[in-house]
Structure 1
C-alpha cells in the first residue's frame, strides 16, 4: 500500500505539471504532503467505470442494428429507450436516498455494476420483445442503483480543494471507455460483419472484470447498527424542500441547461446530413470521446484552482459556440473542430457539476443530492430530445441548433447573475 500511494502521488504531481504549466500556487492539501487525492478507492472506481463503459459502448453502435435484426420497429426501439431512461431517472434518486439512509456505499456500487454487466449476455440469450425490455431495464436499473453511491464515495475521498480533480479523473477514465468500446466493436464487426449476438457475450468480459474489482471496495464508515426502515419510493423528492438554498439555485440552473441539451444523436445526424460517411461519423464520435477523456482531469485541476463556477460557465460558452457552429454547413475538418470543442465542453461541465453539488451539500446527503440531480437530469434530457426532434421535423436542423444556442446563453446569464456559493460555509459539513 505504501508503494501504491507513492506511485499515485508521483502520477498526480506529474499530471499537474504536464496538464497545466501555469504558476498557480499549490493547494494547502498538496503543500502539506497529505494523503494523495488519487487514492486507491478513486483508482478502483475509475477503472470500474472504464471497464463498464467499454462494455456498454461496444454495443452502442450496433444496438439499433441488432434490435432491427430481431424484429424491433423504430417505434418499439423508441419506447424501449424511453422506458429504460425513465427507470434510470427514478432509480437514481431513490437509491441515492437509500444509500444515504443506510449509511452504505459499496453494496449499491457492487449491485449496480453487477446488474449492468449481467444485462449484456441477457440481450443475446432470447429475442422476445418482453425479454429484451427486461434486459435493457436491468441495465438502466443498475446505473440508477450505483450512480449516487459511487459519486458520494468519490466525494468522500476528496476535500473541497480536490473535488474537481477527483471527479475529473473519474470522468477521464469513464470516457476513455467510451472511446475504446466503439473501436473494439468496429474491429470485431470488420472481421465478423453482421454477427451481432456474439458481441453481447464479448461485452460481458469487461463487465465481469468490473464486478471483481468492485469486491475490493469498502465503506469509509462502519456499518450502522440497528434496523433502518426502507425509504419511500419518491422520498428523494422531499430533498428539494429540505436541501440548502444553494443546492436549489444550482439545480435550477443545471436542469435549465439540461432542457436545452438534447441527445448527441442530433449532432451526429447533422454530420450525416452534411454528407459524411458512416465511418467518418463514428470516427468523429470516437474523437470527441478521446478529447473529453484527455481534458476532463486537467480541467478538474483547473476548477480546483480557479473555482468550479469559472470552469463550468466557460464550458457553457463552448457549448453555445458548438451549437451555433452547427448552423454553418461545412466539411469534415469543420465538424472535427466542433466536436473537439464539444469534448472540451463535456470535460468542463460533467464532473465539475457533481463536484460543485458535493461541495455545497451536507456529507450525509451527498448521494441523495447527486441522485436527485441525475434523476431529474434523465427526465429533462428525454423532454429536451423530444422537443428537439419535433422542432427538427417541423422547422429543420438549423432551427434546433439556433434555439438551443439562445437557450444556453440564457442559462449562462443565469449563472452569472445568481450568486451560488462554490462550497458549504457551515463548519463540519461538506466533503
Structure 2
C-alpha cells in the first residue's frame, strides 16, 4: 500500500502531520528509549569496569559511525532505485534491535566494539530511507515542522530511557561515582522490549508514498545534486570534524566529579530541553529559513564547547549540558529539512545517504582526535580534558561563518 501526500492550506500543526510522520516518530520514540538506556553508559562501562583509555573509547565511537557511513549512502541510493523506503528502514531498525542482547555478555572492549558496530550497521541501513520517507510524506511548507516533530519524539524517547536508567542505577548502586557491571547488565535487559516495539511501530504504521512518475535508476553524482547541496556538505564537514562523540561530554562530567546517577539526570534534563525546542524550531525554520536556525545552533554549540573547556566545577558542566539541548533542538532537525530543500525530489534518498555518510565518515577522525587531545600529556603541553572542546568550538565558529558568507540562497530559504 502507498500513502499520497496532500496539500494543506490551513496553518500547519502536528495534528495535521500524516500517518507516516507519526509512525516514524513513534518508532524513534521507542528505539531511543532502548538506545539511550544503554549507549550513554557504555563509555562509563568501558572506563569504570573494563579500564579502557579514552583513546580506545574514541576509536570505538569513531569506527562505530564510520562502519555505518557507506551503508547510509547505499541504502539511500537503493531506496531511490526501488521507489520505496519503508522496508529498508524496518530492516535497519530490526538489526539494531537483535544486536542489543549481546551487550549483556560483554566482558572485553573488543566485544563491546563489535556489538556497537553491528548496531551502527543497522543505523546505516535505516537512516537515509527513514528521512526520505518523512520528506516524501509532507509538503515543503511543513517540512521543518515534520522533521522537528520527529526529533522531538526521538528525544522524548531518549529522556524516558534515561529516566529508566537513572532509576535502575539509583536502586542498584545509589550515588556511587563509578558504574558497576551488574547495573549495566540490568539496564541492557530492560532495554530490549522498547527496541522491538520500535520495529513493530514502523512495520505496522508506515506506508511508502505514491510517486507521480516511475523513478529512473539514480546514478550517484554530487554534480546532479547541485552546487548548494555540495557547499552545504563542505560546511557541515568542517563542523562535524569538531563534533566528537558525546561520550566525551559524559566523561568530562565524570572527570569533574558527577556521579553516574547525576550524569543520567543531567542527560534527562538535556533531552527535555531538546524535546521542547525541536518542534517549534522546525516550524520556525519553515517561516524564517533553515540557515538562520542552523547558524544560531552552531553558535550556541561553540559557546557550550568553550564552556566545557573552561569548566572547573560539576555544576558548570551540568548547566552547559542542559543548554546543549538548545543547539540540538535548533540545528539537528533543521539541517535534515534543508537537505530536502536543496536537491531534486527523485534524489532525496541518495542525498540523505550522502549527507549522513559524510557525517558518519568524519565521526571517526573527530572522535579519534578528541580522544588523543584529551589523553595528550608530557611533551604535548596544554593537552588534556579541555583540548577537544576548544578544538570543537573553534570549528563550529568557522562553520557558522562559512554558512553566512558562502551558502547560496538558491534552492533554499535564507
Do they fold alike, i.e. is TM over 0.5?
Answer: yes
Alignment-derived partner of residue 63 in structure 1:
42
Separation (CA, whole Å) in 2 of partners of 1:391 and 1:154: 38
- Please, which moves more after superposition, 158-167 or 277-286? 277-286
Q: Quick check: 2:61–2:245 contact (8 Å CA) kept in 1?
A: no
Query: Aligned-pair distance for 1:78?
Result: 5.8
Higher relative contact order (CA 8 A, sep 6+): 2
Alignment of structure 1 residues 20-31 onto 2, 5 Å: 29-31=8-10
**Given the superposition, is the C-alpha separation of residues 407 and 81 from structure 1 closer, same or farther in structure 2, using an over 3 Å criterion?**
closer
Query: Aligned-pair distance for 1:209?
Result: 1.2
Q: Quick check: 1:296–1:348 contact (8 Å CA) kept in 2?
A: yes
Query: Aligned-pair distance for 1:55?
Result: 0.7
Find out whether 1:396 has 2:384 as its counterpart.
yes
Q: Quick check: 1:243–1:361 contact (8 Å CA) kept in 2?
A: yes
Q: Quick check: 1:167–1:352 contact (8 Å CA) kept in 2?
A: yes
Alignment-derived partner of residue 269 in structure 2:
287
Alignment of structure 1 residues 214-253 onto 2, 5 Å: 214-216=202-204, 217-221=206-210, 238-253=220-235
Separation (CA, whole Å) in 2 of partners of 1:192 and 1:378: 35
**Given the superposition, is the C-alpha separation of residues 340 and 196 from structure 1 closer, same or farther in structure 2, using an over 3 Å criterion?**
closer
Separation (CA, whole Å) in 1 of partners of 2:362 and 2:331: 17
Q: Quick check: 1:123–1:135 contact (8 Å CA) kept in 2?
A: yes
The secondary structure found in structure 1 opposite 2:222 is helix
* 1:125-156 per-position Cα deviation (integer Å, ceiling 9, x unaligned): 68698876654333211111110111001101
Q: Quick check: 1:308–1:422 contact (8 Å CA) kept in 2?
A: no
- Please, which moves more after superposition, 408-417 or 64-73? 64-73
Alignment-derived partner of residue 257 in structure 1:
239
Alignment-derived partner of residue 375 in structure 1:
357
Query: Aligned-pair distance for 1:116?
Result: 1.1
The secondary structure found in structure 2 opposite 1:242 is coil
Give the alignment partner of residue 90 of structure 1, picking from 70, 78, 94: 70
Query: Aligned-pair distance for 1:411?
Result: 1.3
Query: Aligned-pair distance for 1:176?
Result: 1.4
Separation (CA, whole Å) in 2 of partners of 1:341 and 1:70: 30
Q: Quick check: 1:92–1:374 contact (8 Å CA) kept in 2?
A: yes
Alignment-derived partner of residue 405 in structure 2:
417
Find out whether 1:347 has 2:329 as its counterpart.
yes
Q: Quick check: 1:312–1:353 contact (8 Å CA) kept in 2?
A: yes
Alignment-derived partner of residue 23 in structure 2:
44
Q: Quick check: 1:291–1:340 contact (8 Å CA) kept in 2?
A: yes
Separation (CA, whole Å) in 1 of partners of 2:356 and 2:65: 11
Q: Quick check: 1:299–1:311 contact (8 Å CA) kept in 2?
A: yes
Give the alignment partner of residue 269 of structure 1, picking from 231, 234, 251: 251
Query: Aligned-pair distance for 1:82?
Result: 4.3
Q: Quick check: 2:135–2:340 contact (8 Å CA) kept in 1?
A: yes
Find out whether 1:313 has 2:295 as its counterpart.
yes
Query: Aligned-pair distance for 1:415?
Result: 0.8
Give the alignment partner of residue 327 of structure 1, picking from 309, 312, 321: 309
Q: TM-score under structure 1 normalisation?
A: 0.81
Separation (CA, whole Å) in 2 of partners of 1:77 and 1:331: 24
Q: Quick check: 2:12–2:142 contact (8 Å CA) kept in 1?
A: no
The secondary structure found in structure 2 opposite 1:240 is coil
Separation (CA, whole Å) in 2 of partners of 1:403 and 1:352: 24
Q: Quick check: 1:300–1:352 contact (8 Å CA) kept in 2?
A: yes
Separation (CA, whole Å) in 1 of partners of 2:183 and 2:239: 39
Q: TM-score under structure 2 normalisation?
A: 0.84
Query: Aligned-pair distance for 1:171?
Result: 0.4
Alignment of structure 1 residues 92-241 onto 2, 5 Å: 92-124=72-104, 135-192=115-172, 194-216=182-204, 217-221=206-210, 238-241=220-223
- Pairwise CA RMSD: 3.2
Q: Quick check: 2:339–2:352 contact (8 Å CA) kept in 1?
A: yes
Q: Quick check: 1:324–1:401 contact (8 Å CA) kept in 2?
A: yes
Query: Aligned-pair distance for 1:363?
Result: 1.1
